[in-house]
Amino acid sequence: MSELKECRNEIVEIDAQMASLFEKRMQVCRRIAAYKRENGLPVRDIRTEKAKIETQKELIRDESVKPYYGLFLQAVMDVSSSYQDMLMEGMRVAYGGTEGAYAQIAAGRLFPHARLLAQPDFAEAYHCVETGEADCAVLPIENSIAGEVGTVMDLMYQGSLYVNEVFDLPIRHRLLGLPGSRLDQIRTVVSHPQALGQCSGYLSAMSCVTETAENTSAAARRVKEAGDVSMAAIASEETAEMFGLEILDHDIQNDGINTTRFAVFSRNRNIPD
């Protein structure tokens, strides 16, 4: 038997052992998915994954192999996460606002395969979890420019739900107008009060009138339905695509680093190990 054939046979035996261990690992992942669904937790925690990979790499004695083991572990975690995503399909996640709002974007990133339930406001999204209509709710609690979101903070301290995860979403505001409209035509800008506050410097320079809306997505819808080239909305790029609006200006927030922290609320309390 040639040396190459011997090596290939040895790899077949190793792969058979790995297949058995892989199946056991995925069975544990199934239990993890059930726990995360019960406690309203997202599948992925990138910081924890990176820390685990660095720790596990220390088990490898051959320094030339160590970085490749890191790549192997990352691939295994990616597959495990995909499997958990599949198992968590149908999970009901409430958020405050209409389709296209930043809360929906955050919920979609945390729970990419869940069923997202739009609610009229933050309190309704919170209540959906209390009544069992939703498994968890994704709500904003703080913005790096505008500060705390008072309504949600009140719910956090007075309500019955637990915060089991926080997620920072970079906010990059766009000024959206009707197709064919020009920036120098804009006289009225509509958006959620938080978004208006986060773009106060830009709006002051425009010398325009501002109007409030329930959320950024509702503001975009108002501009679309008004059909007025002198009206614009502050919202996201995703919202522009959703309503067929044109981006008249980019990154109009007061601070280039504008982040909103979202919390995941659920009925059960997650107790980390």
Which of 271, 269, 265 lies closest to 93, judged by CA?
265
Q: What is the pLDDT of residues 53-77, one digit of tens each?
A: 999 999 999 999 999 999 999 999 9
Confidence of residue 128 (pLDDT cuts 50, 70, 90): very high
Q: 245 to each of 179, 238, 240, 269, how far by Cα in Å?
A: 6, 10, 5, 41
Q: What is the pLDDT of residue 194?
A: 84
Q: Tell me the pLDDT tens digit for each residue of 132-164.
A: 899 899 999 998 767 888 889 999 899 899 998
Rounded Cα distance between 247 and 89, Å, is 34
Q: Is the pTM of this model over 0.75?
A: no
Mean pLDDT on 201-206: 92
Q: What is the mean pLDDT of the chain?
A: 89
- 244 CB-contact burial (10 Å; exposed 0-12 / middle 13-18 / buried 19+): exposed
**Could you identify the residue written with the tokens 């504008």?**
258
The pLDDT-based confidence of 272 (bands split at 50, 70, 90) is: low
pLDDT at 186: 95
Whether the pLDDT of residue 20 is over 80: the answer is yes
